[in-house]
């Protein structure tokens, strides 16, 4: 592992016991995380798993822990990173591929080592994106709610065949390519947009086009790009205006890719036949938490939930045993490399400054 913008001079000594704390650990994740750390770092660390998220209010709980395992909903801005460094933290390992929530510049200046999971299971996200697409296209959730009430009518949820229609894949990295392979299996025409063309996608018959053409011609648009300055609100009012009135939009990448206000205006106008969202631009502090006994103060999210053809899930596309297990193993390997002082080993290096900071 390599420090971001600085050289880490603090190393664990031979036989030294290192305190590690993990934030936002889910119940189903903890066992896999402990198993992985037991294999990789047995006897060299004490792993503490917390359900709470890491932010300015909770950062005092990290004091005395040399290694912090963060998650996608933790907020590691300059203030939090400074508090971590002052509390003795030297290494941060992000348990996700995206790390746009971490101020890498501040981390480098503080001499912190930052790692991430380069990828987990692209299939888990691609398959879930398809689950969202099919669910909204065929009205599966509405139908399930009806039949639970013993209402077996077929009024309303008429879907359409996807075979022969056009799938627009925005971003053809590992996940986008996996999504494209499934679309190809459905017999769909493939349009793609990315900075570079993927040879495997080209072999499937994908045609790379500009974003405007992709939005205009696609019956199904699925987003698989990182959240960076150039992609923030890439699905804005102009992009939505280009889309077919009966198109389906799926976002399993990052919430900030979609301008929620513009999406709400489009839905109010009666456009788009279905929207599947596993992410939301203001999901921090809401997703992964139980809000069932509270008043939903996020009016935009509450409004989204009122549309019958909109399906919102809680950032769970990655959440399979295969993907979470790989994340746990990679995180444990990163920490093991840190404990061994292998800061220049590119085989365990993730989170380079030049790496893509928002990949899913």
Domains and CATH numbers, the chain: 18-120+320-339 (3.40.50.720), 122-312 (3.40.50.720)
> Residue 277: beta bridge partners?
251, 312
pTM to 2 decimal places: 0.85
Catalytic residue among 66, 281, 283, 329: 283
CA distance 360 to 291: 25
From the candidates 254, 281, 326, 329, give the one annotated as an active-site residue. 254
pLDDT at position 333 over 60: yes
Alpha helices in 204-284 (DSSP H): 211-217, 237-242, 260-268
Q: Are 145 and 151 in contact (CB under 8 A)?
A: no
169 confidence band (pLDDT: 50, 70, 90): very high
Asked if the model's pLDDT at residue 41 lies above 90, the reply is no
With beta carbons less than 8 A apart as the criterion, state whether 127 and 303 touch: no
Give the residue, 18 or 82, on which the prediction is more confident. Answer: 82
Confidence of residue 13 (pLDDT cuts 50, 70, 90): very low
CA distance 116 to 357: 10
Which residues fall within 8 angstroms of residue 203, CB to CB, at 6 or more apart? Answer: none
**232: alpha, beta or left, given left = phi > 0 and alpha = psi -120 to 50?**
beta
Question: Of 40, 45, 95, 315, which residue is the catalytic one?
Answer: 315
231 vs 254: CA distance, rounded Å: 10
Q: Where are the alpha helices (DSSP H) in the chain?
A: 27-41, 78-86, 104-109, 122-137, 140-148, 174-185, 199-203, 211-217, 237-242, 260-268, 299-305, 321-339
14 is catalytic: no
Residue 294 annotated among the catalytic residues of the structure? no
Q: What is the pLDDT of residue 248?
A: 98
Active site includes 19? no
- 33-44: average pLDDT: 85
pLDDT-derived band at 342, boundaries 50, 70, 90: low
Q: What's the mean pLDDT in 104-126?
A: 89
Could you tell me if 223 and 205 are in contact, meaning their C-beta atoms sit under 8 angstroms apart?
Answer: no
Q: At what angle do helices 174-185 and 122-137 cross, to 10 degrees?
A: 50
Mean residue pLDDT of the chain comes to: 88
Rounded to an integer, what distance in angstroms lies between the CA atom of residue 213 and that of residue 238? 12
């Amino acid at each position: 592992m390599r420090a971001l913008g600085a050289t880490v001079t603090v190393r664990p000594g031979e036989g030294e016991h290192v305190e590690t704390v993990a934030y936002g650990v889910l119940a189903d994740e903890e066992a896999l995380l402990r198993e992985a750390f037991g294999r990789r770092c047995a006897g060299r660390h004490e792993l503490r798993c917390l359900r709470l998220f890491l932010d300015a209010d909770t950062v005092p709980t990290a004091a005395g822990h040399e290694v912090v395992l963060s998650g996608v909903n933790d907020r590691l801005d300059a203030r939090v990173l400074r508090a971590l460094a002052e509390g003795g933290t030297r290494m941060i390992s992000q348990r996700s591929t995206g790390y746009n929530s971490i101020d890498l510049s501040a981390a480098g200046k503080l001499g912190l080592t930052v790692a991430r999971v380069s990828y987990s299971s692209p299939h888990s996200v691609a398959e879930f994106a398809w689950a969202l697409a099919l669910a909204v296209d065929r009205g599966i959730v509405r139908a399930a709610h009806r039949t639970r009430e013993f209402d077996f009518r077929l009024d309303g949820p008429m879907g359409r065949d996807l075979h022969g229609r056009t799938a627009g894949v925005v971003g053809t990295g590992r996940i986008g390519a996996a999504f494209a392979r499934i679309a190809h299996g459905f017999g769909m025409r493939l349009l793609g947009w990315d900075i570079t063309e993927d040879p495997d996608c080209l072999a499937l018959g994908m045609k790379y086009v500009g974003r405007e053409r992709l939005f205009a011609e696609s019956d199904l648009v699925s987003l698989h790009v990182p959240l960076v300055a150039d992609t923030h609100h890439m699905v804005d009012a102009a992009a939505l205006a280009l889309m077919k009135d009966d198109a389906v939009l799926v976002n399993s990448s990052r919430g900030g890719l979609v301008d929620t206000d513009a999406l709400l205006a489009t839905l109010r106008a009666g456009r788009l036949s279905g929207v599947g969202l596993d992410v939301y631009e203001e999901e921090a502090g809401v997703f992964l938490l139980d809000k069932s006994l509270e008043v939903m103060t996020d009016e935009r999210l509450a409004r989204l939930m009122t549309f019958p053809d909109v399906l919102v899930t809680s950032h769970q596309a990655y959440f399979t045993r295969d993907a979470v297990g790989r994340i746990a193993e990679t995180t444990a390997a990163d920490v093991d490399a840190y404990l061994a002082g292998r800061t220049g080993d590119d085989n365990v290096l993730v989170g380079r400054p030049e790496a893509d900071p928002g990949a899913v």
